[in-house]
Amino acid sequence: MAERNESGYGEMRARWQPESLRDIMAGMGMRAVVQRGEQHIVDLPVTPRVTNDSGGLMGGMTATLIDTVAGQAALATKPAGTRITTSDMAIRYLRPATEDTVSAVATVEHSGRRSITVRVDVLRGPRADKAAIATVVFAVLSEPTTP
Q: C-alpha angle 100/94/104, rounded to 5°?
A: 50
Summarize pLDDT for 14-67 with one digit per residue, the tens: 444 456 667 777 777 777 667 777 899 999 989 888 888 888 999 999 999 999
Query: For residue 71, what pLDDT is reported?
Result: 93
Burial class (CB within 10 angstroms; exposed 0-12, middle 13-18, buried 19+) of 120: buried
| The model scores a pTM over 0.85 | no
Q: Is there a contact between 62 and 70 (Cβ–Cβ < 8 Å)?
A: no
Burial class (CB within 10 angstroms; exposed 0-12, middle 13-18, buried 19+) of 146: exposed
Query: For residue 78, what pLDDT is reported?
Result: 94
Please give the backbone phi and psi of residue 58, each rounded to the nearest 5 degrees, phi first: -60, 145
Query: What one-letter code names the amino acid at 126?
Result: P
Query: Domains of the chain, with CATH numbers?
Result: 32-142 (3.10.129.10)
